[in-house]
Amino acid sequence: MNEALPLVKTSWWFDEAMTNDANARTISLTGKTDADVVVVGGGFTGLWTALNLKEKSPGLRIVLIEAGLCGSGASGKNGGKVHGYWSALPGISAILGPDAALEIARAGSKAQDGIRAFATLKGRDLWWKEAGNIRISAAPAQDTKIQTAILCARELGVPDSAIELSHADVETRIQSPVFRGGVFYPEAANIHPARLARALRSAVIDCGVEVYENTPMLHLERSSPNLIKTANGSIEAKHVVLATNTALAKMPEISPHLTLFSSYALMTDANPDAIDRMYWQGGQGISDFRMFVHYFRATPDGRVLMGSGSGPISATGDDTDPGLTMDRSSAQRAVSGLRRLLPEFNHTLTAQIWGGGIDVSADRLPFFKSMPCRTIHYGAGYSGHGVNATYIGGQCLSSLVLGTRDYWSSLPFCTRTLPSLPPEPIRTWGGSLIRQSIIACEEAEEQQKQASLYDRFIAEMPKLFGLKVGTR
Ligand SMILES: Cc1cc2nc3c(=O)[nH]c(=O)nc-3n(C[C@H](O)[C@H](O)[C@H](O)COP(=O)(O)OP(=O)(O)OC[C@H]3O[C@@H](n4cnc5c(N)ncnc54)[C@H](O)[C@@H]3O)c2cc1C
């Protein structure tokens, strides 16, 4: 194990964004106040919701409270790969059917348009680059995923959403000794995620939302109006939007539907020459076909972000579990991914590595819902895929607050019945065993070896039990 891993609690993105944020002055809540709507959580979900509410109903008095700084959660530490659901068509179609899968993918396209419009507004420099997304087979065992994707897009009548790449096609886009064929998804972009979060914060402040940072919600009293208590104040509000991401996994109403995994990402030092040597055109987001995926992208200054979605499961949905942010084995898997997939970066130093919780739902799709009282609303379940989907979340949650039945609130994200995850202790204990076996199988496959019979059997268990989480 490399003891010199520069594992940090924040992220390279967030540190960079804060040094470039001219409006970083924070205010914390002191005393009593009231509002029409309180949004709890200053990540993409909360910020898009507040912005949408102001656009749809400018007269609303909206307060947003954030435990730390806006963008300091998952929104400021992700891979910045922005794409909707075209690459997820096979999985969604198998669960919800082809019509719902297409409806969801088209909603993702609308989100992509909305994020593009925000990110490219004059005066904003959010490193928005639209060059598509590639999924690459990086081992013979991953090859079958290519045909699954291509056939599904054809069968659903959207062949242009997923284009097959031969090995030679891949080589014209990026070269690596372990890359094979792949699939190109044209609708995708890369962004600087923390700059996006900070730009959203500025936009909501500019349109009149009161933003209080370093102000965690300590207690929510469900009443009419609802009462939120913080360390030095309180807020009465008719509507509350809980946009607290992984923290929602502890809530009794939500915990049957949400579990916490984690993802680890590193940022290298800049090495534009190494990118040139790979003939990497640089703008695409890329990932392999592992279930515990390696995802990667370059930055405009020639760095590479490499992530490994293989971090530990948190016991009983505790979002403060150190395994979500400080697990050195998972951080090391991001390093190993860089060394194997992009060996041109073998001699480039890693600037920072960080980890973060991933809120995984039983069908791996997010959900946006209201509690039976109709005045408390929540959204989660992004399953490691939230940069595009949090825009959808903002639209859906603002429609739920306003009680409008429209395009967004009629989507399966709001209307489907949520499947449940297995109960504890099977969920965490069984999930951890399955995770270890899948990692063992995927690592063996990369070395073109066969994993042990035990690991192969345990890795198949989710499929045998008809689960959608943990299936390869
Ligand atoms: C390492 C990593 C890589 C990822 N890569 C990608 C990617 O490339 N593409 C992609 O689409 N998705 C990716 N994701 C997922 C994506 O980042 C998330 O789905 C998305 O950011 C969720 O946004 P959010 O606003 O719901 O959550 P967050 O950004 O976590 O915001 C929730 C906020 O709520 C605050 N909060 C919590 N409790 C309280 C409280 N009691 N009171 C007040 N505030 C509170 C937190 O401080 C936090 O700021 C990645 C995630 C991680 C961790």
Pocket of ligand 1 (CB under 6 A): 40-46, 65-68, 72-75, 77-81, 216-217, 243-245, 247, 263, 265, 295, 307, 356, 358, 382, 384-388, 390
Probe target for ligand 1 pocket from 18, 66, 294, with the most ligand atoms within 8 Å of CB: 66
Does residue 2 register a pLDDT over 70? no
3-state SS of the chain: helix, strand, coil percent to 5?
A: 40, 20, 40
DSSP string, 191-248: --HHHHHHHHHHHHHHTT-EEE-S----EEE-SSSEEEEETTEEEEEEEEEE--GGGG
Using CA atoms, how far apart are residues 19 and 354, in angstroms rounded to an integer? 18
Write the residue with the smallest CA distance to atom 32 of ligand 1. Answer: 244
Which region holds residue 179: left if phi is over 0, alpha if psi is between -120 and 50, else beta?
Answer: beta
Exposure b/e, 322-342, CB count within 10 A at least 16 = b: ebbbbbeebbbbbbbbbebbb
- How do residues 176-198 score in pLDDT, each as one tens digit? 999 999 999 999 999 999 999 99
Q: How many other CB atoms sit within 10 Å of the CB of residue 315?
A: 16
pLDDT at residue 407 in the model: 98
| Nearest-10 Cα torsion for 294, 297, 303, 306 | -10
Q: Give me the helices (H) in 243-378, please.
A: 272-277, 328-341
Contact 296, 244 (CB under 8 A): no
Does residue 465 register a pLDDT over 80? no
Q: What is the mean pLDDT of residues 428-455?
A: 94
Write the residue with the smallest CA distance to atom 35 of ligand 1. Answer: 41
Q: How much of the chain exceeds pLDDT 70, in percent?
A: 99
Q: What's the mean per-residue pLDDT of the chain? A: 96
Distance 247 CA to ligand 1 centre (A): 10
Q: Which residue has the higher pLDDT, 24 or 295?
A: 295
pLDDT at residue 54 in the model: 98
pLDDT at residue 243 in the model: 98
Distance 74 CA to ligand 1 centre (A): 3
Contact 164, 146 (CB under 8 A): yes
Distance 96 CA to ligand 1 centre (A): 26
Write the residue with the smallest CA distance to atom 52 of ligand 1. Answer: 78
Structure confidence at residue 427 as a pLDDT band (50, 70, 90): confident
Pairing of strands 62-65, 210-212: parallel
Contact 284, 130 (CB under 8 A): no
Write the residue with the smallest CA distance to atom 2 of ligand 1. Answer: 78
Q: What is the mean pLDDT of residues 143-171?
A: 98
Using CA atoms, how far apart are residues 18 and 240, in angstroms rounded to an integer? 28
DSSP string, 107-125: HHHHHHHHHHHHHTSTT--
pLDDT at residue 281 in the model: 81
Does residue 334 register a pLDDT over 80? yes
- Paired with 163 in beta bridges are 184
pLDDT at residue 95 in the model: 94
pLDDT at residue 286 in the model: 98
pLDDT at residue 417 in the model: 96
Contact 457, 307 (CB under 8 A): no
Which atom of ligand 1 is closest in space to residue 215's alpha carbon? 43
Which atom of ligand 1 is closest in space to residue 297's alpha carbon? 8
Distance 73 CA to ligand 1 centre (A): 5
Distance 63 CA to ligand 1 centre (A): 19
Q: What is the mean pLDDT of residues 345-357?
A: 97
φ, ψ for residue 83, nearest 5 deg: -155, 155
Cα angle at 456 between 454 and 457, to 5 degrees? 65
Instruction: Give the three-state DSSP class for 449.
Output: coil
Q: H-helix or E-strand containing 169?
A: helix 167-173
Structure confidence at residue 50 as a pLDDT band (50, 70, 90): very high
pLDDT at residue 188 in the model: 98
Contact 82, 189 (CB under 8 A): yes
pLDDT at residue 419 in the model: 95
pLDDT at residue 1 in the model: 41
What is the amino acid identity at position 353? I
Write the residue with the smallest CA distance to atom 33 of ligand 1. Answer: 41
Pairing of strands 7-8, 350-361: parallel
Write the residue with the smallest CA distance to atom 15 of ligand 1. Answer: 384
Does residue 306 register a pLDDT over 80? yes
Distance 246 CA to ligand 1 centre (A): 7
Distance 14 CA to ligand 1 centre (A): 12
Q: Which residue has the higher pLDDT, 316 or 400?
A: 400
Contact 74, 43 (CB under 8 A): yes
Does residue 278 register a pLDDT over 70? yes
pLDDT at residue 461 in the model: 87
pLDDT at residue 4 in the model: 80
Instruction: Give the three-state DSSP class for 278.
Output: coil
Structure confidence at residue 55 as a pLDDT band (50, 70, 90): very high
Distance 22 CA to ligand 1 centre (A): 23
pLDDT at residue 471 in the model: 75
- How do residues 107-151 score in pLDDT, each as one tens digit? 999 999 999 999 999 999 999 999 999 999 999 999 999 999 999
pLDDT at residue 396 in the model: 98
Distance 23 CA to ligand 1 centre (A): 21
Distance 46 CA to ligand 1 centre (A): 10
Write the residue with the smallest CA distance to atom 10 of ligand 1. Answer: 385
Q: List the end-to-end C-alpha distance of the chain, in Å, as a whole number.
A: 27
Peptide bond into 425 cis (omega under 30): yes
Q: Residue 353: which of 280, 318, 303, 315 has the closest Cα? A: 303
